Amino acid sequence: MKLELTLQGDVIQTARVRRPPYREKETDEEATAVRRRLLHLLGMPGMKPGRSGRSGRNVSFALPGNLGAIGGTDVRSRFGGKAVDVPTGDLPRLADLLPGLEWNEALLLINSLPASTLEPMCPVEHREEAGEGHAHDHGGAG
């Protein structure tokens, strides 16, 4: 996926999807793949992603509560294996969820979504030639 972000400090102001997510063939079930990606981002790649119980619950507390709320789930509950249960047509656009988040929160949000959920949330926004607010001076006589 290619995103175009405008930041003010660490906070995303605007977001646009320029290329859709690349769908890798995941060898794990979706919940395990999500857990594996989030453990990597948390600096715990050695922890087994399928692990449940007390240590898994403790790790979930390292994830912000209510981050990336979609269809009754958030990053923390998706780490715990809860699936987003929203019809594809009712999913929010990723570009609408990112403004206001710090870039590290955005990475957690994106990686908490299985590919089957993320793909329909990422319609590509093509760059408009006019109206983007960029003036170019090519140095010609004029």
Confidence of residue 129 (pLDDT cuts 50, 70, 90): very low
pLDDT by residue (tens digit) across 30-49?
A: 888 899 999 999 998 878 76
Half-sphere exposure of 60 (CA within 13 A, CB side): 22
Q: Is 35 exposed, middle or buried (0-12, 13-18, 19+ CB in 10 A)?
A: buried
CB 12 within 8 A of CB 99: yes
pLDDT by residue (tens digit) across 35-85?
A: 999 999 999 887 876 655 555 667 888 899 899 999 999 999 999 999 999
CB 21 within 8 A of CB 115: yes
* Helix-helix angle 30-41:103-111, to 10 degrees: 160
Confidence of residue 135 (pLDDT cuts 50, 70, 90): very low
Q: How many C-beta atoms lie closer than 10 Å to residue 112's C-beta?
A: 26
Q: Compute the distance between CA of residue 2 and CA of residue 29 in angstroms, rounded to an integer.
A: 24
Structure tokens at 43: 């600096």
